[in-house]
C-alpha cells in the first residue's frame, strides 16, 4: 500500500485471501513469435478459489461499501479481528484497520447476485498514518 502511494498511485485496492491452489503448468507460460521480446500470449495461473475470491472482492468493492476506497481487504480466514487489531498495534506496523468487519455474504451486488463463497467476512486496512 505504501509503495503504491510512494510511486504516484494514491488510489489502490487489493484483497488478501487464503486457500489451496493446484498449479496448472499449461496456464503458466508465455508464447512469443520470433523472440522473447515479441510476446503474443501470456497465460496466468490464477483460477484457484483464493484468486477468484480476491478478484470478485475487487468487483464488489465498486459497489456501496464505504471501506473500498484506497484500502486492502483482509479476509477473516487470513487473520481474525483480535489478531488484526493486535498486529496493527505493534510499533513497526505499517497498517491500521479501517471501520469494522463486514459481511459480503449479506450484500447483493448490482446484478442481484449474492457472494458465492463460504468465506464472507472482510476488514479493510490502510497505510498507518504517521503522527507528525
For residues 132 and 122, what is the distance between their CA atoms, to the nearest angstrom?
30
Q: Please give the average pLDDT of every successive group of 10 residues along the chain, which has 132 residues.
A: 85 81 68 76 71 80 68 88 87 89 80 82 85 44
All three cell numbers of 127, joined, read 497505510
For residues 49 and 98, what is the distance between their CA atoms, to the nearest angstrom?
26
What was the pLDDT predicted at 132? 38
For residues 76 and 7, what is the distance between their CA atoms, to the nearest angstrom?
29
What was the pLDDT predicted at 104? 84
What was the pLDDT predicted at 26? 67
Amino acid at each position: 500500500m505504501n509503495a503504491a502511494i510512494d510511486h504516484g498511485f494514491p488510489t489502490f485496492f487489493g484483497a488478501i485471501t487464503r486457500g489451496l491452489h493446484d498449479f496448472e503448468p499449461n496456464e503458466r507460460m508465455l508464447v512469443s513469435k520470433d523472440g522473447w521480446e515479441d510476446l503474443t500470449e501470456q497465460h496466468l495461473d490464477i483460477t484457484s478459489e483464493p484468486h477468484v475470491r480476491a478478484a470478485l472482492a475487487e468487483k464488489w468493492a465498486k459497489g456501496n461499501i464505504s471501506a473500498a476506497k484506497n484500502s486492502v481487504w483482509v479476509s477473516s480466514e487470513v487473520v481474525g479481528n483480535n489478531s488484526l487489531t493486535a498486529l496493527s498495534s505493534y510499533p513497526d506496523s505499517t497498517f491500521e484497520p479501517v471501520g469494522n468487519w463486514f459481511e459480503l455474504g449479506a450484500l447483493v451486488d448490482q446484478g442481484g447476485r449474492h457472494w458465492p463463497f463460504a468465506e464472507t467476512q472482510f476488514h479493510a486496512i490502510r497505510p498507518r498514518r504517521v503522527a507528525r
